[in-house]
Every structure is written in structure tokens, then in C-alpha cells.
Amino acid sequence: MTAVSSQRIAELRSVTERLNLHVPPSYFVSASSSEPYEEAVDPLMDRPEGEPLNLYVGVPLCEEHCSFCMYFYGLADEEGTRAEECLRGLEGFLERIASRDQRHLISGSYIGGGTPTVMSASQIRRLLAAVNRAFAFEPPAQRTFEMSPRSATPEKIDAIVAGGCNRVSFGVQSFDRAIVARAGRTWADPASIRALIGRCRAAGLTEINVDLMTGLDGEEDRTLADAVEAMVGEADLTISIYRYRPGRSAELAARNGMSEYVSRCAERVSAAAGVAVRHGWRSSGRFDGEHVRFMPARPNRWPERNLYETRYRPGLRNSLIGVGVAARSFLRDERMVHCQHRNSAGYELCGRLVEVERCDQVSRVSAALVNAFFRGEAADAALIEAQCGLAPEEAFADELGYLVGEGVLGCAGRRYAVEPSCRARWASLDKLLYPPDWLRQRSEAARLR
């Protein structure tokens, strides 16, 4: 695509650090337009039968504004007025979907936000009733409801279970009181979280997930490992660890740059994984990535196609329909829909103009390559060509030739793998496989900010 020079390699190292591109995006946009929301998601309903379709329903309201969160859209009011307005918007859109000739089969779902448990128990029942009228679910579907330890009550947990959900997830982030206070969040102690897990288990939930974070201000080397130690004795539990994403240059400077920050967080995740392994657990995900999951060492409760997935997986050919203000949808790796949050637009969804983004063949090949290398440090060019209709060797001939010639990638037939000795360099060298126009646009946008 573009000749590879030492200058280009140096520029890619710089842009990786400057734009925080240590984790690849799930897709690259080649064109965009606006469409009414209900028309924008129609193609998702008409995809080939048998391909997994996930469902996300978003409640964009929170109890408090946590400084680390990228998904804050507004606070709920004590009277519940905003929650009711939001629910009515969701009900109207879901009823529109329910009016179609057939209910579409969902492989996995997630009710998130925001914090959906800002709604009352009766509102939760209404929301899940509307979801169940609009969609049918595969019998082994993973159905998750996100909640907060602060607002989760026995009545709300019962409503979640009655609506068909079999899994809940809630954020703890840290058991260090000072860290949580600095982030603007209400602190919860381990004993209260264990009690909440017990209530969820007694209500009949199949799995309970607790979110922890690494990289928050004030974290020490043992903070994360100690939090995992406090939780791993619980049955039916999984633990998700998310790396905080610094958003300001001052934050990155205080962390000695992005590469140093990622490395330090990875060491802390590794230490926490050591605790989990000692208790007979296992981990899933890269320690230097933004999300790692710890779980008991037993067979997965759900088939892979029935796990809720927020990224396109070429082997699954999965899609996602997102319902709600700020929700995102995608039709495989070809079409993305974003219902942007605007305070002035309220919570009505039907007729609302949303952003529709499309991905051409080169963009799809690029996303498939960089995400395959990130997940498993290997990419199957034959599979990507079958999915995208374009050979990676044609789209990125110079770049792949350079990477193989320099010994960064090994090549066996049409399967490429990152050489173990080059893993550290790969954090910037994978940008050779990004669409050049996308990198230029991101760099220009950052410069203007």
C-alpha cells in the first residue's frame, strides 16, 4: 500500500504513543451518513440466518459521576423522572421492533449503561418485558444485567431474574477507600460485596461478575492482587479487570508515558492472575490489553456463540444490535450504527437520526488483521480473504513483505504470526497495517484538540 521507510517506522512509534493506540480499534470507517434509527438497524434484522446476533440495551443514567468512566451520560434524578423518560423511549423503539413479522433470535444480550439499576424494580420489569416481546433468545443465551452495589436491592434482583437474565455484572473497581473516593465513587467493602453476591446466587442467577480496575490514581503494586484475593473464594463468580484509559496529556505524563503505564499495569494484572491461579482459577485476555477476565478453571457455562460480544469476530460472523441513547450496533465488519448522546435530543429513539458508518474492503482487511494479531498474535490470511473478498497480501503487500523480511512476522503458508522476540516492537509496528488515511485523520483531530 505504502512504501516502508525508517522515517515511517519512527512516525508510527510516535503516533502510537501520542494517540494511545496500544489497543486496536474494532473497525476503521471509510464512509459515513445519517439515517433514522429504525431504518439504520433494519439490515441487522435481515442478515443470513444462523449468524449470531447480540443485543445491547442502554440506560444512559448513573447514580454518581465516576471520573474514570468513559460511559457517563448524565445523572438520574431522585424523583425518577429521567429514568421514566428513558424507559418510555426504549419501550417505544422495542415495540417498533416487536411489530415486525417475526421475533429475531438473540444469541447473547447485555443491559448496560450508565447504570440500569437506577430504575425501580417495576421499571426493570417493564424494560425486560419489552425486550422479551421484541426478541426471542437462543436457549443457551448469556443474558447479563449490569447493576450497582449502591442501588441493587432484593426486589430489583428478583425483577432481573424474572425477566430472563441469568447473569449480573457490577463494578467495585477497588477495595481501597482512598482510590474510590478520589474517583468520586461510593466505596463498598468486601463483606458487603460478598453479601450481594450471595443474594444474587440465592435469587437463581447463574453467574455473577465483579469489575475491578487497574491504573487508577493511588494504586499500589499489591492493590489489585489484594482485591482479587478478597473475591476468589466466592462460587459462581468471575472477575473482569479493566485498565483505566488516561484521557489527558497531564495524566500520561504523570504515568511516564503510555508505554511505561501499560507495562506497569500489565505487571499488576500478572500479579493478580497469580493469585487467581493459586486458587484454581484461569485467565482470559492479554495482560497488556484493556480487559482481562479471571474465572474458575471449569468448562465455560455458555457456548462461544452465546457469549455477549462487543467486537466483530471473523470466525463467528457476529453482529450486534444496540438499542438506546449512546448505543452502538454493527453488522459484521461492514456497517456500524451509533446513536449519539445529545442532551438536547432527550430519550426518544424512533425517528432519531443516527450516524451510519461503512467499511470498505481495505478497511475490513485492516481491522481483521490488527485485531487477529492483538488477540492471538497470529492471523490467517486465507480466512480474512474469504470474509472480506480481498487478500491481505494484496491490500498490504509492501507492509507484510517488510514485516516478514525483517523477521517481525513468521509466515507458514498464508498464516502470519508475531515472532516472540518482536512482541514489544509490535505495539507500534502493527500500525503499518492500519489504513494510512485513518491514521492521518486521527493525528489531525488530535492536533486540532
Phi, psi torsion values for 196, nearest 5 degrees: -65, -40
Tally of residues, the chain: 449
Asked whether residue 134 carries a pLDDT value surpassing 60, the answer given is yes
Q: Which domains does the chain have, with CATH numbers?
A: 6-27+360-448 (1.10.10.920), 31-306 (3.80.30.20)
Average pLDDT in the 325-329 region?
94
Q: Where are the beta strands (DSSP E) in 248-377?
A: 281-284, 291-296, 319-323, 328-331, 335-338, 353-358
Q: Tell me the C-alpha distance between 276 and 268, whole Å.
A: 13
Find all residues with CB under 8 Å of 195, minimum gap 6, and list them: none
Nearest alpha-carbon partner for 388 in 410, 370, 368: 368
Q: Tell me the C-alpha distance between 119 and 129, whole Å.
A: 14
Nearest alpha-carbon partner for 272 in 231, 225, 233: 225
pTM recorded for the entire structure: 0.91
pLDDT at 2: 66
**DSSP H helical segments within 21-176, as ranges?**
37-40, 42-45, 81-98, 121-134, 154-162
Nearest alpha-carbon partner for 61 in 142, 122, 148, 133: 148
pLDDT in tens, 40-66: 999 988 888 889 999 999 999 988 877
Q: How many percent of the chain have pLDDT more than 90?
A: 72
pLDDT in tens, 274-296: 999 999 999 999 898 889 999 99
Asked whether residue 102 carries a pLDDT value surpassing 70, the answer given is yes
pLDDT at 77: 82
Mean pLDDT of the chain: 92
**Quick one: how far is CA 176 from the chain centroid?**
25
Average pLDDT in the 267-271 region?
98
